[in-house]
Structure 1
Amino acid sequence: MTKSLFLRRPSTAFLAGWFFALLVFGGWSIASPVSSAPDEPSHAVKAEATVRGMFTGAPTDQVGIESFSLPRDISDLGGAMACTAAQPTTSALCQPDLGMFPSSEFAATSGVGSYNPVYYALVGWPSLFLEGDEAIIGMRLASALINGVFIGVMFWAAAQMTRGSSLVAWIAVALTPMATYLGGMINPNGVEITGCAALASVAWLIVHDRAASRLASRASMLAASGIVAGNARSASPLFVALIVVAVLLTVPLERVRELIRRRQVWIAAGVSVLGLGFAAVWTALVAAPAGFIPSSDPARDGIAQAVVHTLGATENYGTEMIGVLGWFDTGLPQPVYFGWTAGIGFLVIGALAFARRRFLLASVVLMIALLLVPSLLQAPSAATYGYIWQGRYSLPVFVGMVIVAGLGWQHSRRPDERWSRPVTIVVAAAAVAQIVSFATAYRRFSVGVARPFRDVLTGDAWQAPGGLVFVTGLFVVGAVGLAITGISISQALERTPADDLWSDEPSGGLSARLEHAAPAHRQDSVESPVVRAAERPPS
């Protein structure tokens, strides 16, 4: 049987995933009015300042707010530009044209002025040669490009998994409408989410797949995903560590030791430690002393009360993780919430009921982390800053949990069990829900939530650059393309005999040669005694 092109050349899966994801994220980038995304004015100012060599701003009389001197036509993003914020019935027609502002220096303020500069350096460069709305959209597209890379990495990993035909379904569940929306905005939360999802996928591939000849490229992908995601926000290194530890829990200790002895792995680990070390040092020495913007909620509770309050808000956080767009002013249709909740419930019940031993342990660790991380990070500072946690901040842990629990479930079942039907249903349903969410958000900014969808076609409706047909077509092609690509990879994995999935030449000494000599056993988990016996050299 001839293998699928995606399986023969995983780079094609990467390119397809990247391209279609770029259309999805780019659709959000273009279809969302300037200053309509959460905290985007602050993030845009920080990005513009970073690429101009200003890594921190001048302090102001407001806690957590810093000032930068920037051209006004790209940085005056508050005030009238944010007229839709928390006003769901107001369309984007209320906004002035950003390009009409003069290019003279302006004291632009940001609530993230001392944040880690890595993400902002990667996305701020379009502001060096674009003006007005084009500069903001250009930076959004730069962010979409990076997020698209991480989606491509996930598809690349999926095409190489011998028992990973379900991965694309878990990717579809993990990337909620909120996650894809953030992927098209100027916000480090987006790359934190997609980077952690890619990290979980590649880490699983490395520890459960013994193809030594591909270890260097996989280790490189792992390090890149971890470093970019880990430098996104102050809590990001914690999320990266949680996901890596959870994946390592799914294999025996001897497998971990074997990997550590590999040169490619310890080089990637060393680079990752340096990258994450930079993030930790920046947070400790720069970001934390600068402070954060206090909550507008006057409540300032002690640790114990803050823990109880935060745990009580878990349901709200769950809704926000699925999607409350804009400045918490754009909810999604109830069927989207119900459907996504059902998909998450299907995964959690399946993992808890069927995942065995180490897979169950790793899944439970991340499930508990998802529940407790908001309390652990928010409660100690609640007396000073109030309640500032939002559901989207939990998405990096959520995507890791979904991928690890889902793959653990599949690995705990029979190797010949077919997953193509549930994968197709989940992926197709997620694509439809993404399109419905996009249409809902577009209607909100075009005419406001009080008017029907048909009014988007009227003359007094706001339209995105390029028009309704262009941006909608962009998004729909991307969503459908991702779904078809993912389903194709899953079905190709199930059609291809296990032996044919291991056609690359081994490298790495006696262990790899022995593995190559017995490909029939490679469908087993790395914890299989058959595989462990094959690893021992003859006496």
Structure 2
Amino acid sequence: MSAGSPAGEHGPTSRNEEHVEHDETGRRSVLSARRMRIPTRGWVGGLLVVLALVVGIGWSVSSPLASSPDDDYHLGSIWCPRPVGQSCETSVVDGAPVVKVPRAVADSSMRCFAFKTNSAGCAMGYRDDDLVWSTRYDDGNYPTGFYRVHHLLIGQDVQTSALLMRGLNVALCVGLVTALLLLARPVQRHRLGLALLITWSPIGVYFISSNNPSSWAITGVLVYATGMYLATTSEGRRRAGLIACAVAGALMSLASRYDASFYLFVVGVALLVAVRWRRALWPEMVLTAVLGFLGVRAMVVSGHTDAIPGVGSTGPEGGFLHRLIVGIETAPKYVGGFWGLGWAPGWGDVPLWARAPYILAILAAGGVILLAVTSGSWRKWLGVGVMLGAIVGLPAVFYAAGVFRELEAYQARYVLPLFAPLLFLLLTVDEDEPLRLTRAQTTWLGLSVVGCHVLSHHTVLMRFVVGVTPDWVLNLDAAPQWWWDVPVTPMTVWAVTSCAFLALTVAVLRSVEDRCACRREEDV
């Protein structure tokens, strides 16, 4: 008994100590793994931000000055923001008011290649101190905020100044979207990334990286809509940060276009019906109401409901109802225009129609929409219905009311700012479960989106570097007719931008991939 007692006393104790040591070792392993994973995630996140900047900068250098719609107007307005008399020399020539701007941004600078697809972007070799009179500048058709901010970047070199402005637009977009992704919950983060991947490439990225006010409109409306919605589902500092992002997006919208200002009201109505409002959310509710009111006020007080300088208000033939129906029937074309169908980049002269890469993006978008409509509440359907009604209804109403003589004069890019928020709400409202796509589904989405981006970017580069020829030049480095005075070639820009976009696409799609389903596929 005396010999057996120690064994009986110490045996269980030793086993318990082993279990304790094992548990402590397991905890240490978990803590160690977490410590290792946090820096890794930070490193990967930083890399993704750099890749997004590379994509934006790649697009920003892919076209010359005055190469996007009404660029001569917007560049002239940047050089001479309101009040015009305080920023530039003014005069009257042939009865028309004019301002003095550098020749490189005047209305004559783009005539050698605009609407002439066989002509590359012309580098005319203008002296930066060569000033001429121009009739193309803003005298009240647009808010002045966008122009005044970019006016601060004007330097001695016109081209460098314009590129810095494009870079600023890219940086603002990437910075604000990154802030949203960091502050959002993982389930929401993945859905936002997928919505942007589907809706912004290639036309959204093209305009964000341009000198056009549509850059701020696209970024601002998205950041406002997603930031405000995410704030209603968050708490503490995360909530405060999201509200700050939403306010920044609203300010960008108010400073860019009057129709983008009105979109603050549209988004506000959508949020009013989509959010589960409660007493604790009174700051978001008040802010949404105030910003919506400011958006409507900016649109009404401006006295301008047209989005294109110089378009008159004389109505087209036919009654209001007839024109309204025609406008609604054209809605599918507007949706296709979000990827370049009917409204191509440049002055509408980049021949995306020749290879039709937008078909790939439309197929991918259809798949994601089918995934998003598998479930939902009445709040989700009403909120999405408000956004969809604005996208379909605004062009039709403007045409029916006679604001535009031709329906296509109201371009798809004017309602593009509402598209990404619409898809985000469709994917996110009242959805708490993670998205579950199979490996085959993510592969198909990736091939479609990347294929559209790569083909569209090459077509834009080809249009301006060598011009459009019957043999469709593939190697843009062979005989470039236009390019920047830098050691990086057009094909290098295309390759690096394409690889960066591919990496971003893989990261987004991996985040929504159902790993369990993928393992089951591999087992089969």
TM-score, normalised with respect to structure 2: 0.78
Secondary structure of 1:113's counterpart equals: coil
Q: What residue is the counterpart of 2:392 in the other structure? A: 371
Q: Give ranges in structure 1 of 5+ residues lacking alignment.
A: 495-539
For 1:182-227, what per-residue CA distance to the aligned partner results, in whole angstroms no more than 9, with x for missing partners?
0111111122112222223222322233x33422111111111122
Which shows bigger deviation, 363-372 or 473-482? 473-482
Q: What residue is the counterpart of 2:113 in the other structure? A: 84
How many pairs align? 476
Q: Does 1:140 align with 2:172?
A: no
Q: What residue is the counterpart of 1:242 in the other structure? A: 266
CA shift for structure 1 position 103 = 3.3
Q: Work out which of the residue numbers 199, 206, 229 in structure 1 matches 2:224.
A: 199
What are the equivalent positions in structure 2 for 1:257-268 lying under 5 Å apart? 257-260=279-282, 262=283, 265=284
Q: Work out which of the residue numbers 103, 106, 110 in structure 1 matches 2:136.
A: 110
Which shows bigger deviation, 12-21 or 316-325? 12-21
Amino acid at match of 2:197: A
Q: What residue is the counterpart of 1:399 in the other structure? A: 420
Q: Work out which of the residue numbers 199, 206, 214 in structure 1 matches 2:238.
A: 214
For 1:139-158, what per-residue CA distance to the aligned partner results, in whole angstroms no more than 9, with x for missing partners?
22222222333332343345
CA shift for structure 1 position 126 = 2.4
> Contact 1:85–1:329 at 8 Å: present in 2 too?
yes
Q: Does 1:67 align with 2:114?
A: no
Q: What residue is the counterpart of 1:534 in the other structure? A: none
Larger radius of gyration: 2
Q: Does 1:471 align with 2:493?
A: yes
Q: Does 1:437 align with 2:437?
A: no
Q: Does 1:418 align with 2:443?
A: no
Q: What residue is the counterpart of 2:337 in the other structure? A: 320
> Contact 1:30–1:137 at 8 Å: present in 2 too?
yes
Amino acid at match of 1:479: F
Secondary structure of 1:67's counterpart equals: strand
> Contact 1:50–1:121 at 8 Å: present in 2 too?
yes
What's the RMSD between the two structures over aligned residues?
Answer: 4.0
TM-score, normalised with respect to structure 1: 0.76
CA distance in 1, matches of 2:213, 2:248: 16
CA shift for structure 1 position 334 = 4.4
Q: Does 1:126 align with 2:153?
A: yes
> Contact 2:231–2:240 at 8 Å: present in 1 too?
no
> Contact 1:321–1:395 at 8 Å: present in 2 too?
yes
> Contact 2:315–2:405 at 8 Å: present in 1 too?
no
Q: Does 1:462 align with 2:488?
A: no
CA shift for structure 1 position 335 = 5.3
Give the direction of change, closer, same or farther, for the CA distance of 1:493–1:349 in structure 2 (3 Å limit).
closer
CA distance in 2, matches of 1:62, 1:309: 39
Give the direction of change, closer, same or farther, for the CA distance of 1:366–1:143 in structure 2 (3 Å limit).
same
What are the equivalent positions in structure 2 for 1:257-296 lying under 5 Å apart? 257-260=279-282, 262=283, 265=284, 272=291, 277=294, 280-281=297-298, 284-285=301-302, 292-294=309-311
CA shift for structure 1 position 393 = 0.7
CA shift for structure 1 position 305 = 3.9
Amino acid at match of 1:483: T
Secondary structure of 1:110's counterpart equals: coil
> Contact 2:170–2:208 at 8 Å: present in 1 too?
yes
Q: Does 1:185 align with 2:210?
A: yes
CA shift for structure 1 position 44 = 0.8
Q: What residue is the counterpart of 1:96 in the other structure? A: 124
Amino acid at match of 2:460: A
Q: Does 1:43 align with 2:74?
A: yes
Aligned-pair identity (%): 17
> Contact 2:315–2:402 at 8 Å: present in 1 too?
no
CA shift for structure 1 position 228 = 1.0
Give the direction of change, closer, same or farther, for the CA distance of 1:455–1:11 in structure 2 (3 Å limit).
closer
For 1:80-123, what per-residue CA distance to the aligned partner results, in whole angstroms no more than 9, with x for missing partners?
5332211222222x4412x336434x322225332101111222
Q: What residue is the counterpart of 2:326 in the other structure? A: 309
Q: What residue is the counterpart of 1:497 in the other structure? A: none
What are the equivalent positions in structure 2 for 1:497-536 lying under 5 Å apart? none
> Contact 1:31–1:442 at 8 Å: present in 2 too?
yes
Amino acid at match of 2:458: A
Give the direction of change, closer, same or farther, for the CA distance of 1:247–1:59 in structure 2 (3 Å limit).
farther
Q: What residue is the counterpart of 2:349 in the other structure? A: 329
